[in-house]
Structure 1
Amino acid sequence: MGSEERPEGEAWFGIDLGTQGVRALLVTADGRVLGSGSAPLRRGRREGVRHEQDPGEWWEAVCATARQALRGVGRVDGLAVCGTSGTVLLTDTAGPALMYDDGRAGAEAARLREAGLAVQDTWALPKVLWLLGNGGAGKVAHQPDVINARLVGHPVPTDSSHALKTAYDLRRDAWPQIPGVPADALPDVVRPGTRLGEVCPAAAEATGIPAGTPVVAGMTDGCAAQIASGALRAGAWNSVLGTTLVLKGAAAEPVRDPAGVVYNHRAPDGGWLPGGASSAGAGVLTARFPGADPAVLDARAADFEPSNAVTYPLVAPGERFPFRAPAATALLLGDPVSDADLWAALLQGVGFVERLCLDYLHHLGAPLDGPLTFTGGAARSAYWNQLRADILGRPARVPEQTEPALGMAALAAHGTGAAPTLADAADRMVHVRTVVEPRPGRTARFTEPYARLLDALQSRGWLPAPVAAHARARLHRDTSAS
């Protein structure tokens, strides 16, 4: 759509650097999509725990994606870029970037924890140490930093959202002293939404993004998806169910977690975005039922509420949230009588993990009294949405458009001054497609299997006893109760 077909000053551009490809949206202030584009990323390397990508391919994909989305557009009022959280590289190294789930830095993570830093094995900081120990040099850069630098024509600060998993101290707005990492290797950091510069002529020629377009600092893809869900006011939560399950919410103060399971991003307006990422999720369905038709199995699973089996549906060994247990493995308690019964058990198991995540957040004192939103690929299943609402005992909103690129368009609108707060920008751009209400009497059906799962997790030493006790005390309450 050309610029002559819309009022000037009403469109913002969001770019999402995903694992499989790059996606972009041009969006008006009221959420109308004026243009979209996508391009695959094919040159990555996965071997065991190794997962790398070529940063040069990111730029090639951004150029192709932007040209698709902006065909015929004469003006863009601002843009922001999100990337995968924990993906990192060193700027003076010709080698590839280590992706968010690259698992080679476990020893480095253990040393950092011994030094008092709360990091997980796949966070960016252990990977920085791994890169430095294997001949790397230069400044630490996160995935969007590479693209933003190409867009504006010079190096840029990183944003505090991507810097979180490189151990940036969001409370002090400063880097801590990090053993083994030279201070001059760490980049300057700005808050998301900060203006980084304007698209330079060379980048404009390569991408089709008009020269002079403001470029603002973005956030991680998880935060971008949260913005696209509209869950930005205190007490609101977004449950993103894809291969794994991620919960992200909003709070006036950070949610304190001595176990380091829950982390807190800083919102552009100074609030906090607590959250956690599980290793359980919908990926277990494709692993157990490759090639199956989910709609057919969903319909058959409705006959098994509850299932004859109880599952903890880990996609891979080890759990990160709602508890940390590196030795955890997938559980199957009981004997399903058919494939449909097993499918039902897996769907319900994800719902139980989701409930336990909310119970754990309540245990930590997080506000849960706002709306809950379902997004992610699994939110396309109307049956699963209903089942999850039943298990949680609370309504859930399902938005029309949930792409992280939409979240970056909203952040660009806020960062360029078009909306006083990020929540205001999201309120205008995000539209709810439906609200799923729990069915009367259904929540009680799942109380006993959920309690059985709590017992199993505690008996294996994975779920701490105080957390299990807290969840049991809430068995007959919905998960929004204070």
Structure 2
Amino acid sequence: MLGEDQEPGSYYVGVDVGTGSVRAALVDQKGVLLAFADQPIYKWEPQFNHHEQSSEDIWTACCVVTKKVVQGIDLNQIRGLGFDATCSLVVLDKQFHPLPVNFEGDSHRNIIMWLDHRAVSQVHRINETKHSVLQYVGGVMSVEMQAPKLLWLKENLRETCWDKAGHFFDLPDFLSWKATGVTARSLCSLVCKWTYSAERGWDDSFWKMIGLEDFVADNYSKIGNQVLPPGASLGNGLTPEAAKDLGLPAGIAVAASLIDAHAGGLGVIGADVRGHGLACEGQPVTSRLAVICGTSSCHMGISKDPIFVPGVWGPYFSAMVPGFWLNEGGQSVTGKLIDHMVQGHAAFPELQAKATARCQSVYAYLNSHLDLIKKAQPVGFLTVDLHVWPDFHGNRSPLADLTLKGMVTGLKLSQDLDNLAILYLATVQAIAFGTRLIIEAMQGAGHSISTLFLCGGLSKNPLFVQMHADITGGNGKNEQSWESCVSQT
């Protein structure tokens, strides 16, 4: 694993590819953050529920942010590079050139994003097989996973994409290949999104049953027949070509990648809380639930033995923490939902103007505005007559129903800023209740969770954190003491 036998003055570069931007960080051997940079990336939505990106655009953004964070340091002290990214599907031909994943034939758009829901028909058919591999994804495969997307490509873009394809990568694995020329896949990606088993490998019968026997015939060369644990050093390190692109020394170690949520989960699950006076000090890591909350929310809990939770992905062995089983709950497009509700309100232009005048984000302004309009009761009671059902993009966990839609009850004719602030609060509360529902499902199946560890963009919002603490802490299901330990990353 990277990081062993470190020398004094060593630096490491981490690149995180999210839904809307790429971030890079420079850290020292103790993990202290020394530099940070971010760069937006393009997204296309050619039709409803089709979401696409460009691998070339994302790689260019990776190069921009990496060059920024290493400015002014001795490049010879950089010892390693690691990538994490969303679990989007990258399609390349046999010569590693982009192939179109769209009806327009635009090969620049060669990524089907994680949140893409085009493969609804395909995922229904996969789930109707009731194949045994589905036990390890909560009983029902999600449309966000790769098998239904691959089947959609075969059935809809046979000539322009499928027949020409040489390589299907999870985005994190594409980035590590781009850096090293090594096509080995990370165990994290393959186990969590491709039905690979850390113990048994690929299941031929599954791919044959769903109509993707092509992969069996070529020994899975297109989707990965060399698998490495996350963090393992890839090949001979950074290639000269990639080194020039990234502004880094050739030959430095490059780690096998992680899915972005799993990188966040690994960071907070293993956080050292000693000496901070927290109630979770001294408790096992299996009592922690990592909540990675950004464009989407992921709820990561680990256990020593496999726990099967209906509607919650997993159990996945060694996919995040070596030697532990992982269960992953989630809420699709939570951050995007908050933006959608706020930006679509009639009072949004007024909110923008007032927030700008105060040099605040719109959410910092809304939080302060809620404090102004609350009465003697806590701010959470402002929504006593307004309620949101947050599954605007379907339910990932624990209902596992992509057909569900959102709902708002208690609407009035008011369109003022007070009304917008309270609708925003109700949306945040709805997301927190969704987290509580996931926790209760995991607890009911055998997890013992006492502490939430939050990271990601939404964890920097005090209202979001407080509502999660209030709503998950008062579930009435047990006598455990709950707390929220927040890591802002």
TM tier relative to shorter chain: 0.7 to 0.9
CA RMSD of aligned residues (A): 2.7
Q: More deviation in 310-319 or 81-90?
A: 310-319
CA distance in 1, matches of 2:91, 2:442: 32
CA contact (8 A) 1:267 1:273 kept: yes
What's the offset of the Cα at 1:171?
A: 3.8
Of 235, 239, 246, the residue aligned with 2:291 is 239
- Scaled by the length of structure 2, the TM-score of the pair is 0.73
CA distance in 1, matches of 2:389, 2:296: 10
Of 247, 270, 277, the residue aligned with 1:208 is 247
Aligned position for 2:463: 383
- 1:64-75 map, 5 Å: 64-71=64-71, 72=73, 73-75=75-77
Secondary structure at the aligned position of 2:384 is classed as: coil
CA contact (8 A) 1:308 1:334 kept: no
Aligned position for 1:144: 172
Does 2:151 correspond to 1:129?
A: yes
Report the CA distance shift for 1:244/1:65 in structure 2 as closer, same or farther (over 3 A): closer
Aligned position for 1:288: 341
The code of the aligned residue for 2:86 comes to: T
% of aligned pairs identical?
24
CA distance in 2, matches of 1:378, 1:155: 35
CA distance in 1, matches of 2:241, 2:379: 60
The code of the aligned residue for 1:381 comes to: N
Does 2:239 correspond to 1:196?
A: no
Of 332, 353, 367, the residue aligned with 2:434 is 353
- 1:201-350 map, 5 Å: 201-231=240-270, 233-259=285-311, 261=313, 264=316, 266-279=319-332, 281-290=334-343, 291=348, 292=351, 293-299=365-371, 300=373, 302-305=378-381, 307-309=383-385, 311-314=387-390, 316-334=392-410, 339=419, 340-350=421-431
Aligned position for 1:363: 444
CA distance in 2, matches of 1:225, 1:206: 26
Q: More deviation in 49-58 or 374-383?
A: 374-383
Relative contact order, higher structure (CA 8 A, sep 6+): 1
What's the offset of the Cα at 1:390?
A: 2.0
Secondary structure at the aligned position of 2:249 is classed as: coil
What's the offset of the Cα at 1:14?
A: 0.9
CA contact (8 A) 1:168 1:176 kept: no
CA distance in 2, matches of 1:263, 1:86: 21
The code of the aligned residue for 1:162 comes to: S
CA distance in 2, matches of 1:234, 1:248: 10
Mark the runs of 5 or more structure 2 residues left unpaired by the alignment. Answer: 1-5, 101-109, 135-140, 272-284, 352-364, 474-481
The code of the aligned residue for 1:187 comes to: G
Q: More deviation in 29-38 or 280-289?
A: 280-289
- Scaled by the length of structure 1, the TM-score of the pair is 0.74
